[in-house]
Amino acid sequence: MIDRYRFGSITIDGKEYSHDVIVAGKKVESWWRNTSHEVNLDDVEPILKEKPKLVIFGTGESGVCRVFPETVEYLEKQGIKVLTFETPEAVKEFNLRINDLGTVGAFHLTC
């Protein structure tokens, strides 16, 4: 469960993180991308390791981080549903679906 999000920080199950994260069940890991404000095919490799059915992308406080259409298309061809929101809304959506098996969140925490 994501307890709180604010610009530059996210608190998950009582632990605060100040870097972009991937959340799958109780597992939280750092999420580094080739270009900080873009999500391309290489950037979803750690997400795919979680064998998701749904990926919720948080694109930052103001939505500056872009998930490329070819990235979404690739995930959908793998049978993975993709939802993309600015991070505050993505956190709310993730918390609503946290108990759904196969839900993974990937959150950009700044702009």
User: Tens digit of pLDDT for each residue in 55-108?
Assistant: 999 999 999 999 999 999 999 999 999 999 999 999 999 999 999 999 999 999
Q: Which domains does the chain have, with CATH numbers?
A: 2-108 (3.40.1230.10)
CA distance 48 to 63: 23
Q: Output the six-digit token pair for 11.
A: 């608190």
Q: What is the largest CA-CA distance in the chain?
A: 35
Q: What strands lie across the sheet with 9-12, from one edge to the other?
A: 2-6, 9-12, 15-17
Q: What is the pTM of this model?
A: 0.97
Q: Helices in the chain by DSSP H: which ranges?
A: 45-48, 69-77, 87-97
Q: What is the distance of C-alpha 16 from the center of its chain?
A: 16
Q: Output the six-digit token pair for 83.
A: 């939802």
Identify the band that residue 23 occupies on the pLDDT scale cut at 50, 70 and 90. very high
